[in-house]
Structure 1
Amino acid sequence: MDSIVPVNEDNSYYEDENDRDAKQKAIDDWLPIPSARTAKWWYSAFHNITAIVGAGVLGLPYAMSELGWGPGITVLVLSWIVTLYSLWQMVEMHETDRGKRFDRYHELGQHAFGEKLGLWIVIPMQLVVQVGVDIVYMVTGGQSLKKFHELLCHEPCKDIKLSYFIMIFASAHFALSQLPSFNSISGISLAAAVMSVSYSTIAWGASVHKGVQPNVQYGYRSHTAVGRVFNFFSSLGTVAFAYSGHNVVMEIQASMPSTQDKPSKVPMLRGVIVAYIVVAICYIPVGMIGYWAFGNSMEENILITLQKPKWLIAMANMFVVVHLIGSYQVYALPVYDFIETGLVKKLKFRKSWYLRFISRNTYVAFTMFMAITFPFFNGLLGFFGGFALAPTTYYLPCIIWIVVKKPRRFSLSWFTNWFCISFGVILTVVAPVGGLRQIIIKAKTYKFYQ
């Protein structure tokens, strides 16, 4: 006889929903991730665009200049294919056939590896990614504001420290951090998604307009073999950083309703496909055209390289600021959820507005402080891209798929997953080395809090 799947009043079918006591349900309804399940498929589209098309796209031309034409295009396209495949797997595994949902990345890891091991495998890497991305976005937001000021400031123009611009960028997050859930930031996320497409288009469009620069060179930037190798490694991490949406995909899907007739993976996957089409439209032109125009004279951030027309580049930098405001919050919400879950469920604090106010503003202040202390844009991209983004994006979903779905040995699925795992492990090993070397080199001449 077929098993009976419990169905709730809202036609959702979580096997444990009716078993939870009122107090536990009240806590879950207060937490950011499971609090609302009313999102539509287009929420998935712009949340994923906001999460994926971030600061990483601005560093792709620089990465191309370190990788070269052949390896650069290969890594860029291969990463798009591999990460789309692993993201599809995560969407498919969000809920079981009986309707049990894994609202957070670590819950899926616990399902595959066990309660304790799964938690320790996923949580550290996911937190490093989310906190690391928010630190990089603080740096990038401050850099974009500084560039905007420099472009529009009339002579004589007083030089203002980057630290102050990072503080200005952070001020928006002290306010926005109080928004409770993904659904509450949907408008901000939509604006951020539009901005990401806009400044990406300006970046490659302005590069086309400027054309190939005089005496452009496409050789490697470093004059030593060791330098070329380490720069190559760091650039692999920069590309990996550009595909970072997996670390919030389970949490985004958790905001969607799910029924037996229409599970959450249907609208979620529709949004993911739209998002990845936009990713291709943004990434490939920016990376290739930027490198084509400037060669190895490209700066770490393409919008810093582009100087004219001033009004257009200034507008693009402000678009970056708006986008990063939304993207920061998309990555911060799962961190807020982790902190608040620990405070309320483990430490037994009473859920309240001031608990949320203090905990979230403390997190924003921490990322601001780290960004002011270590504002090394490209080195941070390479380090975080390889150290934590590659595992959680490129191959951890594939390992979980093998454990949970158990594809037949030597089948197409088995080979595909092991290829993705191998590719991701290589990125994990070599990219942090190159990124850390760049940070160390720049730290030698860096004055703190400049």
Structure 2
Amino acid sequence: MEIQNEQYDDQKNSFEVQKEGTGKDKSLDEWLPISSKRSGKWWYSTFHNVTAMVGAGVLSLPYAMAQLGWGPGVVILVLSWVITLFTLWQMVEMHEMVPGKRFDRYHELGQHAFGEKLGLWIVVPQQLICEIGVDIVYMVTGGTSLQKFHDTVRPGKHIKLTYFIMIFASCHFVLAFLPNFNSITIISLAAAVMSLSYSTIAWTATIAKGVQQNVQYGYPATTTAGTVFDFMGALGNVAFAYAGHNVALEIQATIPSTPDRPSKIPMWRGVLLAYMVVAICYFPVALIGYWMFGNSVSANILISLNKPAWLIAMANMFVVIHVIGSYQIFAMPVYDMIETTLVKKFHFKPCFRLRFFSRTTYVALTMFIGMTFPFFGSLLGFFGGFAFAPTTYYLPCIMWLALYKPKKFSLSWILNWFCIIVGILLTILAPIGALRQIIIEASTYTFYS
């Protein structure tokens, strides 16, 4: 009888410990930025995805076209749009592939596909490189656009780019304390509207400027090696332009889900509308920009435009507003990872003080790196190939093959392997060309100039 009582007490204690742990996990989930609130609407998906994708990448597409040429450039632009829409559909479908469970974070889906430890090692480094990388690039983009706005409004008075990056970063020290995705909804909506606005300004102002005298459409490099390396770097610029997959599951996590209406229905509706906006922004800017300026187009199309001054100044300010929202979209999953690690691994108490130090440190770090290495076009190419190609073009396909196991040589099997091959080629080739360009630019660069 005593033995039975002891066993009963052990089971009771075990249950209470388990219940306490579950309660703590639920309390933590309600505090973390990704899982704290599930009240998103389908249109939240639209402007979060537009904000995530249409950013610095669209401004570099005419420059990428100059390195790729008409034929390959158009094919790669259209193919990337189709492939990334397909892989994003896969991620939306896999979010709730297990009944009663939601994969709220990219690495959680990776763990389900590859195992607890291997999934973390495969997904987390790539996702962090993507999200931190894009925030660094957006620091440079915001600073560059602020500088262009200043130079347009007050020509002749030069101020270092470093100072403009610091000015741009200052607002993020405040916005970093918005707790979750839903709290940045208004900022994301404003950013999405700005992206459509400055993209429209970019291609309409380019048409107004007209085809430049002595415009040339040949490859700008004078050597075969230079042409090949430029071509490879441009592939990364295109890959960077389709960057929304890294936060797709996190965006879907904010949408409520029921058995009758799973979250994939409103999420997919929002994604389709977002991709229509992406097409409206990307294709006119890329094709018209290259058509008017040829191979002399700048790495940032707005830099190539100088008149009318008021319109270019306005477009650059729209870019600033947009990348403010984009920065926060990509920073939110990073905040989530940092805060989860600090609470679960290092046993910090979830509170405002923890959030203050972790998030301000992150913003300061991206600001410092952006000020140190402000190579706009080359950074896009390097991060686009090295980090965005895996997480956007083929990692969802590998997960799909591992989890759904489609029949060999079926349509699904063929499509997934095609995307995997294209993505691996991008991952190998793009960083090589971009790294060469970074080295060339760094050889004549003065730090913090």
TM-score, length-scaled by structure 2: 0.95
Q: Give the superposition deviation at 1:413.
A: 0.4
The equivalent of 1:66 in structure 2 is 67
The 3-state SS of whatever aligns with 1:100 is coil
What SS does the aligned partner of 2:104 have?
A: coil
1:129-148 equivalent positions in 2, closer than 5 A? 129-148=130-149
Distance 1:179 1:413, change over 3 A: same
Q: What's 2:218 paired with?
A: 219
Encode CA deviations 1:8-61: one digit per residue, 9 max, x unaligned: xxxxxxxxxx99622221111111000000000000000000001010000000
Runs of 4+ in 1 over 6 A off after TM superposition: none
Separation of aligned partners in 2, 1:138 and 1:24: 34
The Cα of 1:209 is off from its aligned counterpart by 1.0
- Partner Cα distance (1:90, 1:99) in 2: 17
Quote the Cα distance in structure 1 between the aligned partners of 2:274 and 2:267.
Answer: 10
Q: 1:387 maps to which residue? A: 386
The alignment partner of 1:103 has SS state of coil
1:150 is displaced (CA, Å) by 0.3
Match of 1:440 in 2: 439
Secondary structure, aligned partner of 1:198: helix
Residue matched to 2:354: 355
Give the structure with higher Rg (CA).
Answer: 2
Whether the 8 Å contact between 2:55 and 2:323 is mirrored in structure 1 is: yes
| Alignment check: 8 A CA contact 2:151 2:157 kept | no
- In 1, Cα distance between equivalents of 2:396 and 2:147: 38
Q: Is residue 397–residue 416 contact of structure 2 (8 Å, CA) maintained in 1?
A: yes
2:415 is aligned with what amino acid?
A: T
Structure 2 Cα separation of the partners of residues 363 and 187 of structure 1 = 23
Aligned equivalents of 1:96 and 1:212: distance in 2?
A: 51
Aligned to 2:279: 280
Per the alignment, residue 192 of structure 1 pairs with 191
Once the two structures are superposed, residues 198-239 of structure 1 have per-residue CA deviations (whole angstroms, 9 ceiling, x without a partner) of 000000011111111110000000000000000000000000
Shift of 1:99: 2.3
Q: SS where residue 21 of structure 1 aligns? A: helix
Give the structure 1 partner of residue 163 of structure 2: 164
Where does 1:44-123 land on structure 2 (aligned, <5 Å)?
A: 44-123=45-124
| CA distance in 1 between partners of 2:182 and 2:81 (Å) | 27
Q: CA deviation at 1:97?
A: 4.2
Amino acid at match of 1:38: S
Question: What amino acid is the match of 1:57?
Answer: V
CA distance in 2, matches of 1:346, 1:35: 20
Deviations 1:288-315 (A, max 9, x none): 0000000011010000001100000000
1:158 CA drift (Å): 2.2
In the other structure, the counterpart of 1:247 is 246
User: Residue 88 of structure 1: SS of its match in structure 2?
Assistant: helix
Amino acid at match of 1:241: F
Separation in structure 2 between the aligned mates of residue 210 and residue 321 of structure 1, nearest angstrom: 23
Provide the TM-score with structure 1 as the length reference.
0.95
Tell me the CA shift for residue 394 of structure 1.
0.1
Shift of 1:370: 0.2
Cα separation, partners in 2 of 1:97 and 1:111, compared to 1, 3 Å: closer
- Counterparts of 1:403 and 1:231, CA distance in 2: 35
> Which residue of structure 1 aligns with residue 27 of structure 2?
26
Q: Per-residue displacement from partner, 1:167-213 (whole Å, max 9, x unpaired)?
A: 00000100000000000000000000000000000000111111111
- Aligned pairs (5 A) from 1:33-44: 33-44=34-45
Note the C-alpha offset of 1:284: 0.4
1:402 alignment partner in structure 2: 401
Q: Counterpart of 1:4? A: none
| Separation in 1, partners of 2:399, 2:22 | 31
Quickly say closer, same or farther: Cα 1:19–1:290, change in 2 above 3 A: farther
Report the secondary structure of 2:60's partner residue. helix
Query: Conserved in 1, the CA contact under 8 Å of 2:219 and 2:227?
Result: yes
In structure 1, how many angstroms separate the alpha carbons of the residues matched to 2:233 and 2:215?
Answer: 23
Partner of residue 300, structure 1 = 299
Q: Determine the structure 1 residue equivalent to 2:259.
A: 260
Any unmatched runs of 5+ in structure 1?
A: 1-17
Alignment partners' CA distance in 1, 2:100 and 2:272: 23
Q: Tell me, in whole angstroms, the C-alpha distance in 1 between the residues paired with 2:297 and 2:322.
A: 23
In 1, Cα distance between equivalents of 2:20 and 2:87:
33
What is the alpha-carbon distance in structure 1 between the residues aligned to residue 211 and residue 20 of structure 2? 65
CA distance, structure 2, for counterparts of residue 98 and residue 323 of structure 1:
37
Residue 55 of structure 2 aligns with an amino acid whose one-letter code is: G
Relative to its length, the structure with more helix (as a share) is: 2
Contact residue 62 and residue 290 of structure 2 kept, 8 A: yes
**Quick one: percent identity of the two aligned structures?**
69
Determine the C-alpha separation between the residues in 2 that align with 1:209 and 1:88.
Answer: 38
Distance 1:92 1:21 in 2: 27
